[in-house]
Structure 1
Amino acid sequence: MTERKCILSGDRADPETLVRLALGPNGEVLPDIRAKAAGRGAWIGVPRAELETALAKGKLKGALARAFKTGELQIPDTLPDLIETGLRKVLLDRLGLEARASMLLTGSEKIDVAARQGKVSLLLHASDAAADGNRKLDQALRVGQEAEGTDLAGIVLPVDRGALSMAMGRDNVVHIAVTDSRAASRLRAALGRLESYLGCATGAPVHGEQDSADAPGA
């Protein structure tokens, strides 16, 4: 797809980094996270805090009225929550797909071994993971990537172990190692959208070579 323009900031970006809003038949504006709804859409690429301000001050309604070419709009007060929930679901769904495709490892001991062998492309920690456990696996990642002495580390997800365990169909998922660089790129894209919306983007790189292959289960 070509670039899309954020109706609030005016910036243009790849639609995969933005959030599409769609107009329902009753005039209600709802998030179309996967950008598959029919009809005209409007795109936003600002963090949640900016969206909430635009919603409160009426700027969002004006921008949407221009985008949809109608003033008959119903913008739910919960729109910021709906977007966050949708972006979080996309990330969790992607984790579930990659888990079923055997692209992920869980369990600290297995991850430690794989990380030290340089087989981990992306390291993820639950939001409620213990700091000591994170540090040990981060160090193993640095050893395997020959990056000792740097600040290379796994990413602390904005998702707790309960949500991760449910998404992946496994018990007590606290740490996740992504062993395929293509899977890591797909997860990083889904995570990046959520982080950008929450205003906590890490920009952490994917380790290892990358190539273009279709996503499993996509």
Structure 2
Amino acid sequence: MRNPRNDPLGSPAPQDASARPGQDDGGGSERRCVLTGSHAARDALIRLAGSPPDADGAVHILPDAHARAPGRGAWIGVDRPALERAMADGRLRGALARAFRTGRLAIPDDLPARIEAALTRAFLDRLGLEMRTGRLILGSDRIAKEARMGKVAALYHAADASEDGARKLDQAWRMGSDAEGSGLRGTRLPLDRDALSVALGRDNVVHLALADTRSAQRVEIPLGRLQTFLAAGPPADTSEDRVA
């Protein structure tokens, strides 16, 4: 199956039987989780894509972290432990057989690990894109300065960031956002400083921020999917009134 990240803009749109009638394929359209039957915005769910049948007629199931791969797909909105249970008791295979209309499925045993890796990479790639366009703010001193000036739309802390360092930046963000006493604080990421530093090509990335709301909203999609899968809590507040 082609890598979803390399699909050209002109690739055929994904085909999903779980889309509600009359809805477009935008981020606000809803999809149904094949395991729970519940509906949610497509940006909140994780897409599994199926390859064209191989020589033996089997459809290979792989994560589609960007939800762009052509062909049929199925959506899940459960965390990793729930997915592992569904694989163990056969519910995932049954749900995917109905979604892809075939019982000849090749589901890798390490599918949960592959999903986590793909979602992590999608999130880190998005951060890298925002850094290249100058919208990612790094360094505690710079973040604190921009936050106090009301120029931070979203704030994040590495999983192993100190509570004291995170608390000081949270306070600066609340001050600049006229949100003192609100409890507004940065998001604790499910990644440590080493993972962030390697991905961004910088030393000791412990705290990071985004300078505008649109950037924060772009990052929120892959981060939200990763957090859902890891049951790690909601992404940062990216509402318009957080930006000066």
1:102 equivalent in structure 2: 134
Q: Which ranges in structure 1 are unaligned for 5 or more consecutive residues? A: 211-218
Match of 2:38 among 11, 15, 18: 11
**2:216 corresponds to 1:184:** yes
Identity %: 53
Residue deviations 1:122-174 (CA, integer Å, cap 9, x gap): 00111111111111111111111122223111111011112212222222111
Letter of the 2:137 partner, please give it. L
Distance 2:207 2:201 in 1: 14
Asked if 2 retains the 8 angstrom alpha-carbon contact of 1:120 and 1:207, the reply is no
How do 1:66-215 and structure 2 match up within 5 A?
66-209=98-241
Where in structure 1 do 4 or more consecutive aligned residues deviate above 4 Å? none
1:57 equivalent in structure 2: 89
> Partner of 2:209: helix, strand, or coil?
strand
Match of 1:21 among 28, 42, 48: 48
Letter of the 2:180 partner, please give it. E
Aligned length: 211
> Partner of 1:129: helix, strand, or coil?
coil
Asked if 2 retains the 8 angstrom alpha-carbon contact of 1:22 and 1:37, the reply is yes
1:41 equivalent in structure 2: 73
Q: Which ranges in structure 2 are unaligned for 5 or more consecutive residues? A: 1-24
Residue deviations 1:11-52 (CA, integer Å, cap 9, x gap): 222222211212233432111222232322111111222111
> Partner of 1:120: helix, strand, or coil?
coil
Distance 2:60 2:73 in 1: 12
Asked if 1 retains the 8 angstrom alpha-carbon contact of 2:223 and 2:235, the reply is no
Distance 1:21 1:184 in 2: 25
Distance 2:200 2:186 in 1: 19
